[in-house]
Amino acid sequence: MSDDQEPDERGVYRIEVSGVLGEEWSDWFDGLAITPQASGETLLTGLVADQAALHGLLCKIRDLGLPLLSVNRVESET
């Protein structure tokens, strides 16, 4: 995190999980774009309101039993 970003500020995240999810899961993941990969992984990408929302998404991934591969903030919402 750079010095000019507040931890609770909204931003676009790219979350990678092992396992394939269909686009029908998008609503459950708060509208994130669901992109299955040929490698058997899935990318979840979209705007996350704050750190509390991010933790909520990570809990949903955990509850589905999907191994978490990466979480990256790809741009900030200004």
Identify the CA nearest to 41 among candidates 61, 63, 27, 11: 61
Identify the CA nearest to 45 among candidates 62, 26, 18: 26
pTM: 0.84
Contacts of 72 (CB under 8 A, 6+ apart): 13, 14, 15
pLDDT for the residue numbered 2:
53
5 has a pLDDT exceeding 70: no
76 has a pLDDT exceeding 90: no
pLDDT for the residue numbered 9:
82
Q: Report the amino acid identity of residue 53.
A: A
Instruction: Please answer whether residues 77 and 47 qualify as being in contact, where contact means their C-beta atoms are separated by less than 8 angstroms.
Output: yes
pLDDT band at 39 (very low <50, low <70, confident <90, very high): very high
Q: Hey, where are the domains in the chain?
A: 11-69
Of 6-15, 51-60, 62-71, the least confident: 6-15
Alpha-carbon radius of gyration of the chain: 12
